[in-house]
Structure 1
């Protein structure tokens, strides 16, 4: 099974696009600058324990590698 959530490679600003696959369509959740942002997007998408999926490749794919230390604030 492919990951349902993708955190894209960092862009020019350092932000990473976060998308989720829903009903066969890719939906943008926003641009994340930290793990905290990713967690907030995942909570908004309905995941009850988003911290648990950050490093689970069955749920989340980090394109370009993991950018931040776990639960960092981006700064």
Structure 2
């Protein structure tokens, strides 16, 4: 997958938008959600990318793996 994978900043109500390129995959409330979105997008090794803190995933506007609003 050549497109950039981005987990965006927390929404005010919790969760983070996940995009690949310009496509919005969904609003994740856990790593499990991110993994499922990436699997649906065709990444078979999505769990290794997310849980292994791959540099291919860009976590923006907050710490990686945090999904709850303050």
The TM-score range, normalised by the shorter chain, is 0.7 to 0.9
* Superposed structure 1 runs of 4+ greater than 3 Å apart: none
- The structure where helix makes up a greater share of residues is 2
Q: Secondary structure at the match of 2:65?
A: coil
Q: Alpha carbon RMSD of aligned pairs, Å?
A: 1.9
- Gap regions ≥5 residues in structure 1: 69-73
Asked whether 1:27 is paired with 2:23, we answer: yes
Q: How many residues align structurally? A: 63
Asked whether 1:7 is paired with 2:7, we answer: yes
Match of 1:66 in 2: 64
Give me the TM-score of the superposition, normalised by structure 1.
Answer: 0.75
Residue 67 of structure 1 deviates from its aligned partner by: 3.2
Give me the TM-score of the superposition, normalised by structure 2.
Answer: 0.80
